[in-house]
Amino acid sequence: MTAASAATAAPASSALDLREFRVTQRRQDTRDTATLSLAPLSGHPLDFSAGQFTMVYAFGVGEVPLSISGDPAGGKPLLHTIRDVGGVTHTLTRLRRGDVVGIRGPYGHGWDVTDGRGGDVVLVAGGIGLAPLRPALLQILAHRSEYKRVVLLYGTRTPEDVLYADELEHWRGRFDLEVEVTVDYGPPQWRGKVGLVTSLIPRAGFDPSTTLALVCGPEAMMRYVGSALVDRGVPRRRIRLSMERAMDCGVGLCGHCQLRELFVCVDGPVFGYDRLERLLWLREV
Amino acid sequence: MTTTTDEVRDLLATHCFTRDMPDEYVERVVAHAELVGVPAGTTLFREGQPAQQLYLLVEGRVSIEMHVPGRGEQVVDTVEPCETVGWSWLVPPYRWFFDARATTDVRTVQVDAAALRALAEDDPGFGYALMRRVAAVMLERMQAARLRLADVYGNPQP
């Protein structure tokens, strides 16, 4: 969608409405990352698709776009996994049970994981990028028989930075899910792999011709992951990447998240690699 | 544990380092190779020791480590099946720059490095084929190291 068409598709005012959610649980995932479980003060739980994001408002501090990390099956709490990287996220990661935040959304196009039915699915996550992929994986696992091989490849900085460590351990124990984790730096007691997440792709157990690949992580990582998946034989149109930009309005009006001709908030945040590849290699776009 | 030449030949036919090498060249490698089993925890070599072998990993995982005073052994990379351990055997002074340790039980084809160097000297065609493969490994490792230096998972600067 172009800027012009995004503007013509301006949403109804309700799309900008702020709802209040109460923190029902807070979990410290890593030294700088926490997951908040949120329930609406009134009305229905938030319905969303895997890969969508919301605008989360820390009252009196500011608003940030955050990918939803919870289960997209209806009726579940809204989960946001937040890394402390700035003023608003610093506040959000320190909220406690009972605190209230504002939520707008959900916004954007998600992973559309059902496109992978009947074939293999590989999810490639880097760092905090595992959070937006978690809903996709939960959706796939809830309908596991509809997919063939499912592979999760996860790379992060150190073993201490591994997100959802308990859940990864549980997933690794399943017979119908291949999970590989690698870190950039490993202490002596680390028994896993050390190296880039791209190094996991050549040996992962999926058939590229039937694979839907879902990728989320730092842009530099996604550039190389995209190339590695293409080298492995996955068609570009079957590779999807979730982009992070400074979404502000969330509905294609302000242009803060513009990526050349694309508005990340409404055209994405999930894009096909066939559409994104060229832009990923342009500097300062 | 050592095994037959036929088994080594079969393994090299599928190993990423040698699988697209002409049969004639593979035979030369086979003549100087043996399949070795290494128990988990065994140190294959240490920094500063003479680099006398090329290791073509068949099974298991090997960690490449460096001792940092005050921090102990730091794992800087891991090597998986179908990958190779080390290239210091190819370039003077033929000494390892890191430690290598089997973190699981490992099976590896070990190739005598001095013999490989002699073969490369005698036949530039073989030498070029060998160098191309080693260069590919070096390039991959160097790019990976540079990307890790970029610390893409680190906190963005405000």
Kindly report the CATH number assigned to the domain that includes residue A168.
Answer: 3.40.50.80
**Among A85, A194, A217, whose Cβ lies nearest the Cβ of B75?**
A194
Report whether A15 contacts A103 (CB < 8 A): no
Looking at every residue in chain A, the average pLDDT score rounds to 90
Encode pLDDT of A201-245 as tens digits.
988 999 999 999 999 999 888 999 999 999 999 999 999 999 988
Instruction: Give dist(CA B149, CA B151) in Å, integer.
Output: 5
> Tokens standing for A255?
């242009």
> Tokens standing for A106?
């959900």
Domain final residue pick, A107, A142, A171: A107
Q: Are both A126 and A232 inside the same structural domain?
A: yes
Q: Are both A197 and A88 inside the same structural domain?
A: no
Cis peptide before A269 (omega within 30 of 0): yes
pLDDT for the residue A27: 95
Q: Are both A123 and A237 inside the same structural domain?
A: yes
A190 C-beta neighbours (distance < 10 Å), count? 17
> Tokens standing for A63?
């608003």
Residue of B58, B61, B78, B149 to mutate, testing the A interface (most A Cβ within 10 Å of its Cβ): B78
Compare A181 and A75 and report the one with higher pLDDT. Answer: A181
Q: Are both A135 and A224 inside the same structural domain?
A: yes
pLDDT for the residue B156: 56
pLDDT for the residue A200: 92
Residue A149 within a domain: yes
Amino acid at B134: V
Residue A270 within a domain: no
Nearest CA in chain B to A125: B153
> How many A×B Cβ pairs under 8 Å?
73
Mark yes or no for CB contact B153/A187 under 8 Å.
Answer: no
Q: Are both A136 and A191 inside the same structural domain?
A: yes
The β-bridge relationship of strands A150-156 and A121-126 is parallel
Domain final residue pick, A77, A107, A137: A107
Encode pLDDT of B57-88 as tens digits.
999 999 999 888 887 888 889 999 999 998 89
**Among B65, B77, B150, whose Cβ lies nearest the Cβ of A195?**
B77
Residue A150 within a domain: yes
Q: How sure is the predictor about B155, in pLDDT bands with cuts at 50, 70 and 90?
A: low
> Tokens standing for A100?
């209230």
For residue A134, the enclosing domain spans 113-241
Residue A71 within a domain: yes
- A244, B13, B79 from B84: Cα distances, Å: 36, 15, 7
Percentage, residues of chain A above pLDDT 70: 95
Domain final residue pick, A107, A131, A159: A107
Reported in sequence order, the residue ranges of chain B that DSSP labels E, i.e. its strands, are 33-38, 43-45, 53-59, 62-68, 72-79, 84-85, 99-102, 106-112
Residue A255 within a domain: no
Encode pLDDT of B10-57 as tens digits.
999 999 999 999 999 999 999 999 999 999 999 999 999 999 999 999
Residue A222 within a domain: yes
Report the CATH number at residue A84: 2.40.30.10
Mark yes or no for CB contact B65/A188 under 8 Å.
Answer: yes
Q: Are both A93 and A125 inside the same structural domain?
A: no
Q: What is the average pLDDT across A19-39? A: 95
Mark yes or no for CB contact B150/A220 under 8 Å.
Answer: yes
Q: How far is CA B7 from the centre of its chain?
A: 19
Q: Are both A92 and A166 inside the same structural domain?
A: no
Q: Are both A180 and A222 inside the same structural domain?
A: yes
Percentage, residues of chain B above pLDDT 70: 96
Q: Are both A198 and A150 inside the same structural domain?
A: yes
Which residues fall within 8 angstroms of residue A248, CB to CB, at 6 or more apart?
A63, A254, A256, A257
- In this structure, chain B runs to a length of 158
Residue A273 within a domain: no
Residue of A130, A194, A200 to mutate, testing the B interface (most B Cβ within 10 Å of its Cβ): A194
Question: Rounded to 10 degrees, what is the CA torsion of B139, B153, A217, A276?
Answer: -60
- State pTM to two decimals: 0.87
Residue A10 within a domain: no
Encode pLDDT of A232-278 as tens digits.
999 999 999 999 888 888 888 888 888 888 898 889 899 999 999 98
Report whether A216 contacts A222 (CB < 8 A): yes
Mark yes or no for CB contact A185/B75 under 8 Å.
Answer: yes
Q: Are both A117 and A233 inside the same structural domain?
A: yes
* Chain A residues touching residue B153 (CB < 8 angstroms): 126-128, 155-157, 161, 184, 217-218, 221
Q: Are both A135 and A230 inside the same structural domain?
A: yes
> Tokens standing for A280?
């990923």
Q: Structural domain tally of chain A?
A: 2
Residues of B in CB contact (< 8 Å) with A are: 61, 63-65, 72-78, 80-82, 103-104, 144, 147-148, 150-156, 158
Nearest CA in chain B to A130: B153
pLDDT for the residue A153: 97
Q: Are both A101 and A120 inside the same structural domain?
A: no
Nearest CA in chain A to B64: A194
Mark yes or no for CB contact B147/A218 under 8 Å.
Answer: no
Which residues fall within 8 angstroms of residue A189, CB to CB, at 6 or more apart?
none
- Phi (first) and psi of residue A61, to 5 degrees: -120, -55
